A and B are shown apart, each in its own frame.
Chain A
Amino acid sequence: MSLLTVSDLHVWFDLPNGRQLHAVRGIDFSVAEGERFGLVGESGCGKTTAILALMGLLPPNASVAGEVLLDGENVLARGEESAAPRRWREIAMVFQGAMNAFNPVRTIGDQIVEPMELHDVAEGKDAMRRARELLDVVGIPGDRVTRYPHEFSGGMRQRAAIAMALACKPKVLLADEPTTALDVMVQAQILELLISLSNDFGLAVVLVTHDLPVIAQVCERAAVMYAGIVAELGTVDRLFHDPRHPYTRLLFAATPDLYGKDDVASIPGAPPRLDRELAGCPFTPRCDRAFSPCPTVTPRLLEVEDGHVAACHLNDRAIEAAS
């Protein structure tokens, strides 16, 4: 059974002009213990919003619908009341740019201890000892707890940010763009760290990124998001080798090849605006294989093979036959 199951998650934002922006428009995925799951998509497709919703950390103008089952219990059932006790203790997050979110005048140790104190996990010397252990776990010598953030390199600060997320022994770790702004070597080390955390401690990792090679290196399964929906979800292997949604295929074509054999193709156009009702498949205007039902009929998420789903009419025999 899955540790984390997200079903039909929606997030809306109230805009100052009275409209509503439907940022996440019903997404489903599940992550098992020790599994590494990726969420990919271009900027503004709702990746970050979706995982912030899992944490219950959305701004006041947001509203959420759907189910987030953590160990079989719905985190969103009673809003903050049901989200707060699980936040950090069961589901923790490394924020985007977390490495730059250290207080410069307090030691790294002090700051790793902070979530423990706030959630009554440990206090005083116990907490500091645990902070040391955590630094060891993420590959920083434990005696650096007394150091200040400016004495750490970017990669070390990112490791410390991961240690901070692990402070309350969570079961699920959400990592939002953990490798942006790091050079490739450090990036590879951080990804290794995430892999070993999930292997060694059975931590479920949800990795949010727009970087496909990162997903390929770390994750077993991934979901490709577009305009607030899951366009395609499956094992990374199938997504790479047998994409069943044109967006996935074009996205991979837009990633540079190591050998530079093929030209990098961009996808013309831009994602649709989400502050109005969308009809049909949101990818239609940019799709190279759009056909008659696409602008009007919203595609269902169809299982194309075991554990591999895609939301595209091309996979729907009934529709294809009708057109």
Chain B
Amino acid sequence: MTTAIEAVDAAESPVEVRPGLLRSKVLRQPQTIVGLSVIAICVAVAILSPVIAPHPKQQVGPVFAPPGGEHLLGTDGGGADMVKLLVAGTRVSLMVGFAAAIVSALIGGAIGLASGFFGGKTDTVLMRFTDYVIVIPDVPLMIVAAALFGRSLTNIILIIGVIYWTTTARLIRAQVKSVRERVYVKRARALGAGNSRLVGKHILPQVAPLLIANTVLLVAYAIFAETFITFLGLGDPSLISWGRLIENAFTDDALLNDAWWAIVPPGVCVAVVVLACTMVGQAMEESLNPRLSVGHLSPRRFRVRPVPPAREP
């Protein structure tokens, strides 16, 4: 048997590279393209901000100068250029958003995976813990935690990450539980595959796209959370973020000075980025889970034509 099978000579052909299904499907949707471009522009601005907008807090004009002229969006309560401040704020807001989303994806992914894969007591303990975290009110916890551990960027990232992992954990657990029971996982187990191989080769690939889509959605939540934490005065005082701009405008009585340009632009920035992340995340989720979109077996999809006239013999 050995020699005979080895003797069969297979033609050496290069292993063909196949285009990713997910990529082609997601990229075809207009909302993804819009969302991704917005995110890409923001990331570019964030990276280049020290070059585009050096010394953003420097006073360059009168306090609350209206938009127009030299300062496109006017100046804030300290006489600093709003455009520069917005550019500088992009950096911190995005950093917190992505980092916190990754932290919560890691925690949620790990807990969901362990809970779904091992089941039984592990599942009960981890899920009850998740339930416990879910019922803790977010905002008061954030305030308490920020007050306790100090107002630094890392703390904000960790606080947001540690609060927002619960949905991820539940989502991943449900998916893992379903994948774990599929025949090919049982087959791999019968072939002698250990837990790490089962998780790494069979379960993670089925769960990872969902985790990624969820993480993109979490970025939106995290940016929003950063904004309101900073607005509540719990952000790092030395860093500029969109939330801090709103807070500064609030403490400097921008509204009493009718300086809408100090409040609206950072708010719009937050809204636009959150929207972009949501668009991309939803497009990914939709293409991963065909049940979310209208079924391709929908009765509305196929057309009915008149019967062609019988041909004369």
Contact = CB atoms under 8 A, between A and B. Distances in A.
B11 A134 contact: no
Interface string A14-32: 0000000000000000000
Interface in B161-200: 182-188, 190-193, 197
A201 B4 contact: yes
B10 A95 contact: no
A105 interface: yes
B192 A101 contact: no
A137 B8 CA distance: 7
Nearest to A142: B10
Given A118-B197, A133-B5, A171-B1, A103 B191 contact: no
Contacts of B186: 101
A313 interface: no
A104 B187 CA distance: 13
Given A87-B192, A103-B202, A146 B187 contact: no
B24 interface: no
A291 B185 CA distance: 50
B5 A134 contact: yes
A133 B6 contact: yes
A105 B205 contact: yes
A123 interface: no
Interface in B1-22: 1-2, 4-6, 8-13, 15-16, 18
Interface string A99-123: 0111111100001001100110000
Contact of A202 (B1, B9, B16): B1
A114 B10 contact: no
Contact of B187 (A87, A98, A143, A200): A98
A146 B17 CA distance: 8
A57 B190 contact: yes
A101 B184 contact: yes
Contacts of B184: 101-104, 111
A233 B206 CA distance: 47
A260 B133 CA distance: 70
Contacts of A118: 191-193, 197
Nearest to A166: B5
Contact of A88 (B15, B191, B205): B191
A201 to B, nearest CB: 4
A97 B183 contact: yes
A143 B201 CA distance: 22
Contacts of B201: 106, 114
A95 B18 contact: no
Q: Which of B6, B10, B11, B182 has the most CB of A within 10 A?
A: B10
A137 B188 contact: no
Contacts of B1: 169-171, 201-203
Given A146-B15, A169-B2, A129 B205 contact: no
Contact of A95 (B190, B192, B206): B190
B193 A200 contact: no
Nearest to B6: A133
A118 B194 CA distance: 9
Contacts of B187: 95, 98, 101
B8 A136 contact: yes
B60 to A, nearest CB: 55
Nearest to B194: A118
A84 interface: yes
Contacts of B5: 133-134, 137, 166, 169, 201
Nearest to A167: B191
Nearest to A105: B205
A143 B11 CA distance: 8
A128 interface: yes
Contacts of A106: 201-202, 205
Contacts of A10: none
Interface in A156-201: 166, 169-171, 200-201
A55 to B, nearest CB: 8
A111 B2 CA distance: 20
A132 interface: yes
Nearest to B191: A115
A299 to B, nearest CB: 36
Interface in B272-290: none
A136 B10 contact: yes
Interface of B: 1-2, 4-6, 8-13, 15-16, 18, 182-188, 190-193, 197, 201-202, 205-206
21 contacts: A84-B192, A95-B190, A101-B187, A102-B184, A104-B184, A106-B201, A118-B197, A119-B192, A128-B15, A129-B10, A129-B12, A133-B8, A134-B5, A135-B10, A136-B10, A143-B16, A146-B15, A146-B18, A166-B5, A169-B2, A171-B1
Given A87-B192, A118-B191, A143-B13, 11 more contacts: A57-B190, A100-B183, A101-B186, A103-B202, A103-B206, A106-B201, A118-B192, A133-B10, A146-B15, A171-B1, A202-B1
